[in-house]
Structure 1
Amino acid sequence: MKAMILAAGRGERMRPLTDLLPKPLLAVAGKPLIQYHLEALAVAGLHDIVINYAWLGHLLPQHLGTGEQFGVNISYSDEGAEGLETAGGIRKALPLLGDAPFVVVNGDVFSDYPYQQLAGKLAADSLAHLVLVPNPVQHPAGDFGISATGYALAAAQQCFTFSGIAVYRPEFFSSVPAGKQKLAPFLREAMQQGKVTAELYQGVWHDIGTAQRLSELSLLLESEYVG
């Protein structure tokens, strides 16, 4: 199974840090955020990885190379200067991802989710399986619900936050037009068709969407290392 790390975002809320570096290369406790993903995916046995890039994206291959030093093999999907949003970016990368289901991880989250478990989570009649997490303070309303039978719900009395971690079949993106396309509308459409499952993960997960949260995570990890 291959994996894709989404790394094409501009990181507007992280400026001025992202004026000189793409967000996934910002340091967390002394090493680039994206390196944590590469190392975790390698441990899980996911060694073939696609990384998309846009803003200052040429710096990603310069820093990461082929991925050999992390025990992985990296292919890159260049989206140009502005990026294609999540669904558009994944659609563009499909030739690199192949015909089998693949894992996708947002480049601006940090988690200890055991990626090796994802291979067995995709049901035979499902197009996607999402990892949801308890709602953080900055996103109290959440995104999606989970039915009693494990299906993702576009609307529910209790919603959880999409972690940015999922496994998809390539067919999920067959209806996505080329160009800039957001993911949520296609997820909601597939949920209404009963084609998306979900789980609630209550382990470590952080959304690194602002400079403050980046700093807080660095301090947390540094304190763990010292401890």
Structure 2
Amino acid sequence: MTALILAAGRGERMKPLTNTTPKPLLKVKDKALIQWHIEKLIAKGFTTIIINIAYLGEQIIEKLGDGSKWGIKIIYSDERQSGALETAGAIIKSLPLLSETFLVVNSDIWCDYDFDINFKLNNSLAHLILVPNPKHNPNGDFKYKDSFYTFSGIGYYSKKIFENMKIEKKALGPLLKELDAQNKISYELHKGIWSDIGTPERLELANSL
């Protein structure tokens, strides 16, 4: 299975920290957010990781290289010319590089979820990892076992969802809502550590854990 780490956003809410540094390179415990994900993916057996880049993407390439220092392959899906394509657009652009079932991880989350390289979608087209609702998203995103929970930014997807779609700026949320209405998504609830590092305050909190 391949993994796609989403790393193209501008991090507007993280300013001024992101004025000169892309959000995936902001540090928790003296290590870049994106590096935590890479090392966890490697520990779970992933050997090919795709990273989409746009804003200050050259810094990410310089920091991570081609993955050889970890004994893996990192491939960059470059959105610097087009501008960030949002999540679905990023997946569509990266589709030729992805396995039939693939994992997508937001680079700007901090969590202890265990990635599963052998995950099977079975009859679903997507499997989303949900978390208890944080203060900034009290109403949640998706209903699971009679309650609404927040989408963690981690999910397993089938390439079938995105086949024949045009490469363009496209959000993932509406696609997921359509699949949810068709009962094509499965869910699991992660109750461990999880934080959306969306503001300087949340970054500070993660560093204090």
Give yes or no for TM over 0.5: yes
Q: Which moved more, 1:61-70 or 1:46-55?
A: 61-70
Cα shift at 1:164: 0.5
Amino acid in structure 2 at the alignment position of 1:132: L
For the 8 Å contact 1:87–1:176, the answer to whether it is kept is no
| Structure 1 residues 77 and 133: CA distance shift in structure 2, 3 A | same
Post-superposition Cα deviations, 1:77-131, rounded to whole Å, max 9, x if no partner, equal 0012520000001110111114x20111000001111102x633512x2110000
The SS at the match of 1:19 is coil
Structure 1 runs, 4 residues or longer, greater than 3 Å off: none
Amino acid in structure 1 at the alignment position of 2:182: Q
Whether 1:178 aligns to 2:178 is: no
Cα shift at 1:58: 1.2
Q: Which runs of 5+ in 2 are unaligned?
A: none
The SS at the match of 2:204 is helix
CA distance, structure 2, for counterparts of residue 176 and residue 158 of structure 1: 32
Residue matched to 1:119? 118
* Identical pairs, percent: 50
Cα shift at 1:29: 1.1
Amino acid in structure 2 at the alignment position of 1:198: Y
Give the alignment's TM-score, normalised by structure 1.
Answer: 0.87
CA distance, structure 1, for counterparts of residue 125 and residue 35 of structure 2: 28
Cα shift at 1:68: 2.2
Superposed, 1:1-227 pairs within 5 Å as 1-80=1-80, 82-98=83-99, 100-116=100-116, 119-123=118-122, 125-147=123-145, 158-174=147-163, 176-220=165-209
Greater helix fraction, Structure 1 or Structure 2: 1
The SS at the match of 1:87 is helix
For the 8 Å contact 1:10–1:55, the answer to whether it is kept is yes
CA distance, structure 1, for counterparts of residue 153 and residue 200 of structure 2: 19
CA distance, structure 2, for counterparts of residue 197 and residue 136 of structure 1: 21
- Between Structure 1 and Structure 2, how many residues are aligned? 208
For the 8 Å contact 1:130–1:167, the answer to whether it is kept is yes
CA distance, structure 2, for counterparts of residue 26 and residue 46 of structure 1: 23
Amino acid in structure 2 at the alignment position of 1:95: P
The SS at the match of 2:162 is helix
| Structure 1 residues 213 and 165: CA distance shift in structure 2, 3 A | same
CA distance, structure 2, for counterparts of residue 206 and residue 5 of structure 1: 16
Q: Which moved more, 1:37-46 or 1:191-200?
A: 191-200
CA RMSD of aligned residues (A): 1.4
Give the alignment's TM-score, normalised by structure 2.
Answer: 0.95
